[in-house]
């Protein structure tokens, strides 16, 4: 026994232990529950879907139509719009958990999880308990921790610097000049939101980026891509999507938004880099309300930033739209299933299962569609093992009973 575990409560659980009560963890628990398998969901925060509830901006909506973002076995209410809002998605998650009677143990921060080879179980240690189970499901996902870059001179800057995980609304930046570092979906939407409060956003675009219309010719871009992929090779679909995007949006290179050489779907599958689905920011870039800065930040000054080309611009505040990362390497020990970046070494669709009863969900780089796919696979695999164990136990009991007679 680890010396730091001596004063903790030990709890042995028959079903899988699931770390994370976001959409991924709750989806696995629901699929298991549907098969009659109990699970124990551990969550470091005080609520379900804590990233959505505590670390997202107010105007956030699903980027894809709701039918592409349903969790297994339970759909959205029919009166929800095509693109549900943040609050609507949270209400869906709460209803989903209630429907399947999933009650996570909140405020349980997993400090360490490790396989005990001698006893054939996983030991999951939190601040006050050690949970033991035959199965462990890692459901903390790709977006567990904010990525906050180290910027030279940040201590000199006299204004506000915050990550998008702390950003709620542009009302707190009214009439300000704001530097937005990052040009993904969050960077674009924060810039758009800032404009609605008469702020002047300057968006740093250091790398190439695919910007696509959210809808084209009356259909969702994602829906068109999914339909075409049933019949055509991926790279052909990418070329068609980019052709249609060019007709709809024009040449984004002229706006300082240079496209990568790799197509949007191929790039997403290979690296997880999501194309930006435009919800109005592009028109404000064209009008000059959102200014594109095609230089990285060299350092912050007392009242602004100095860029790589030597240019210095004054800003009142800075918003870091620099994304999130996995935190798995910090707490999962003794397993080589994950990379140093906290992603499964085996790519989708085979990255859901490791050794010794280890499973992962929420690491597919394919959003909630990938979550649904993996949750169903995990539930089936665990259910098969559960039934075999139950059957063997009953068989051993019958033999023992016969011998006793």
pLDDT tens string for the chain (405 positions)? 565 667 889 999 999 999 999 999 999 999 999 999 999 999 999 999 999 999 999 999 999 999 999 999 999 999 999 999 999 999 999 999 999 999 999 999 999 999 999 999 999 999 999 999 999 999 999 999 999 999 999 999 999 999 999 999 999 999 999 999 999 999 999 999 999 999 999 999 989 999 999 999 889 999 999 999 999 999 999 999 999 999 999 999 999 999 999 999 999 888 888 999 999 999 999 999 999 999 999 999 999 999 999 999 999 999 999 999 999 999 999 999 999 999 999 988 899 999 999 999 999 988 899 999 999 999 999 999 999 887 765 444 343 433 444
pLDDT at 389: 85
- Cα-Cα-Cα-Cα torsion 255, 261, 265, 270, nearest 10 degrees, comes to -130
Structure tokens at 233: 């090779």
Could you tell me the pTM of the whole model? Answer: 0.92
pLDDT at 349: 87
Q: How far is CA 277 from CA 42, 63, 183, in A?
A: 33, 7, 11
Degrees (nearest 5) of the Cα angle 398, 399, 404?
A: 100
* CA pair distance 192, 302, nearest whole angstrom: 26
Q: Are the C-beta atoms of residues 260 and 238 closer than 8 Å to each other?
A: no
pLDDT at 393: 58
Degrees (nearest 5) of the Cα angle 26, 136, 388?
A: 100
Longest CA–CA separation in the chain, Å: 91
Degrees (nearest 5) of the Cα angle 234, 239, 241?
A: 90
Q: Are the C-beta atoms of residues 46 and 107 closer than 8 Å to each other?
A: yes
pLDDT at 4: 63
């Amino acid at each position: 026994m680890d010396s730091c575990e001596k004063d903790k409560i030990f709890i042995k659980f028959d079903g899988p232990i699931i770390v994370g009560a976001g959409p991924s963890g709750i989806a696995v628990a629901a699929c298991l529950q549907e098969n009659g398998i109990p699970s124990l969901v551990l969550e470091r925060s005080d609520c379900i879907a804590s990233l959505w509830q505590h670390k997202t901006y107010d105007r956030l909506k699903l980027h894809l139509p709701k039918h592409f973002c349903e969790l297994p076995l339970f759909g959205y209410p029919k009166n929800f719009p095509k693109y549900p809002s943040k609050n609507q998605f949270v209400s869906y998650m709460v209803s989903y958990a209630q429907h399947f009677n999933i009650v996570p143990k909140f405020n349980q921060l997993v400090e360490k999880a490790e396989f005990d080879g001698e006893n054939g179980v996983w030991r999951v240690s939190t601040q006050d308990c050690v949970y033991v189970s035959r199965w462990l499901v890692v459901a903390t996902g790709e977006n567990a921790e904010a990525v906050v870059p180290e910027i030279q001179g940040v201590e000199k800057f006299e204004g506000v610097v915050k990550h998008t995980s702390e950003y709620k609304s542009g009302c707190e930046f009214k009439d300000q000049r704001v530097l937005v570092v990052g040009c993904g979906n969050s960077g674009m939407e924060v810039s758009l939101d800032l404009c609605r409060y008469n702020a002047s956003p300057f968006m740093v675009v250091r790398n190439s980026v695919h910007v696509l219309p959210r809808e084209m010719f009356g259909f969702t871009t994602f829906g068109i891509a999914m339909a075409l992929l049933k019949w055509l090779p991926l790279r052909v679909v990418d070329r068609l999507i980019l052709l249609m995007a060019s007709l709809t949006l024009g040449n984004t290179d002229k706006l300082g938004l240079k496209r990568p050489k790799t197509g949007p779907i191929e790039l997403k599958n290979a690296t997880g880099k999501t194309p930006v689905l435009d919800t109005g920011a592009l028109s404000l870039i064209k009008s000059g309300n959102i200014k594109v800065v095609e230089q990285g930040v060299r350092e912050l000054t007392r009242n602004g930033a100095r860029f790589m080309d030597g240019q210095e611009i004054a800003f009142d505040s800075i918003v870091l739209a620099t994304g999130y990362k996995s935190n798995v390497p910090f707490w999962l020990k003794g397993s080589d299933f994950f990379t140093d970046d906290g992603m499964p070494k085996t790519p989708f669709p085979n990255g859901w299962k490791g050794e010794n009863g280890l499973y992962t969900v929420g690491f597919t780089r394919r959003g909630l569609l990938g979550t649904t796919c993996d949750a169903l696979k995990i539930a089936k695999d665990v259910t098969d093992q559960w039934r075999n164990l139950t059957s063997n136990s009953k068989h051993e009991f019958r033999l023992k009973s016969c011998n006793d007679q």
